[in-house]
Structure 1
Amino acid sequence: MQNSYEKIMDIKGEKVILKSLTKELCHEIYKKYVADPMMTDQIYEYSKEKVDNYFNERTKDCNRKIFAITVDGEAIGEVQIKHINYLTKEGSLSVHLIGDSVKGKGYGTEAERLIIEYAFKNLGLNTLYADVVHRNTRSQHIMEKLGFKYVREDEMFKYYKLILKVFEEYKEGRYQKDE
């Protein structure tokens, strides 16, 4: 039985290439994944069955576009637009990198920028949302760097919003973060 997940062309950046997530790429990512202590206190253990279930569940969702982040042909994480609502032209950004070995090199930021451009240009969205765990200050900084505005917070997350106009200003170098 074929699922509704469509293969999308690669999205190429300077450092990373976003590839439509395949089961093989999903396993490659989660075999190397190390839980980030800035995100969770739980220990992650790879399980073929859990990764298969994760892949099958995510790729059947027609309101989600999910990509592997690759560098020099190696999968180092995933980035996705989820909760896509084509009527309201909104979606949510999510990114996971395999661990500290690939962080701080600009890969995640570039992957997020590429998928934001894809969401606005190819999916026709006008607004993106993101949430970040309180203690993940690195991701909070990246959200603001990409033009996301802080909206609110609860016990677990800080919530951000990015509108197309602000992102266009960011790309053109005209975006000024509110101080």
Structure 2
Amino acid sequence: MDKRLFLRALEYDDLEFINKLRNDDTLFEFTCGNKYFISSQRDKKWIEDKIFNNNSQLYLMICTVNSYDPIGYICSTNIDYINRKAQWGGIVIGKEFSGKGYGTEAGKLLLDHLFGELGMNMVYGFWKEDHDASLRMAEKIGFQKDGLMRDYVFKKNRFHNAYICTILKRDYEKK
């Protein structure tokens, strides 16, 4: 399959696009993150933090190869260089690009970077139990469900369960 996407660093020019994504209620419905109202000024500072203070986190824009236009962003947080593990932070893709396999492709690009360039041995993450599409994507790129975290996140006035999933470098290399 030809690569349709590439990852790049965040830029100040991404502010309007990122702010639109981060304020879209429907995009956060199935994530383990909570929804906040975010001003463009706050996101400007947030982007600046991602540009200059990225030792333990990695936020990257997902762009199409053909047009170089961003379609979303992907991240890894809690990067631990001593124990060689990182947390899957998630993928946020514009609604108009969902359902086309971009999340799976971007996820593979991130794992390639984490395992191949940053020397990670394990990547772990949390997926809401009821977000079937996200869980399918995680399994496609090699994550395994290790357990169910009960009442992991409070959203929409109730608690939700989440799976903790992991992938090891050796397992990723076999795929």
Q: Structure 1-normalised TM-score?
A: 0.78
**1:23 correspondence with 2:28:** no
Counterpart of 2:81?
86
- 1:160 has 2:172 as partner: no
1:13-43 alpha-carbon deviations (Å, 9 max, x no partner): 7111111111222432322553323338x87
Shift of 1:80: 1.6
> Does the C-alpha gap of structure 1 residues 51 and 138 become closer, same or farther in structure 2, counting only changes over 3 Å?
same
Instruction: Check conservation: 2:6, 2:109, Cα contact below 8 A.
Output: no
Q: CA separation of 1:49/1:43 partners in 2, compared to 1, >3 Å: closer, same or farther?
A: same
**Structure ranking higher on relative contact order (CA contacts 8 Å, 6+ apart):** 2
Structure 1 distance, partners of 2:36, 2:62, is 20
Q: 2:60 aligns with which of 51, 57, 67?
A: 67
Overall identity of the aligned pairs, in %? 21
Cα distance change on mapping 1:124 and 1:53 into 2, 3 Å:
same
Inter-partner Cα distance in structure 2 for 1:26 and 1:162: 32
On the 8 A contact 2:10/2:50 being kept in 1, the answer is no
Moved more, 57-66 or 141-150: 57-66
For the aligned residue pairs, the C-alpha RMSD in angstroms reads: 2.3
**Do the aligned partners of residues 65 and 43 (structure 1) sit closer, same or farther apart at CA in structure 2, a change above 3 Å counting?**
closer
5+ long unaligned stretches in structure 2: 153-161
Distance 1:119 1:26, change over 3 A: farther
| Residues 64 and 80, structure 1, Cα contact 8 Å, conserved in 2 | yes
Match of 2:46 in 1: 54
Structure 1 counterpart of 2:112, which letter? Answer: E
Counterparts of residues 29-44 of structure 1 (less than 5 Å): 29-32=18-21, 34-35=24-25, 36=27, 37-39=29-31
Other-structure match for 2:108: 113
Q: Which structure 1 segments of 5+ residues have no match? A: 1-12, 171-179
Residue 123 of structure 1 aligns to which amino acid in structure 2?
L
Number of residue pairs the alignment of both structures matches: 158
Q: Which TM-score applies when normalising by structure 2?
A: 0.79
In structure 2, do the counterparts of structure 1 residues 26 and 123 end up closer, same or farther at CA, with 3 Å as the change threshold? farther
CA–CA distance in structure 2, aligned partners of residues 168 and 131 of structure 1: 22
Kept after mapping to 1: 8 A contact 2:127/2:164: yes
* Higher strand fraction (1 or 2): 2
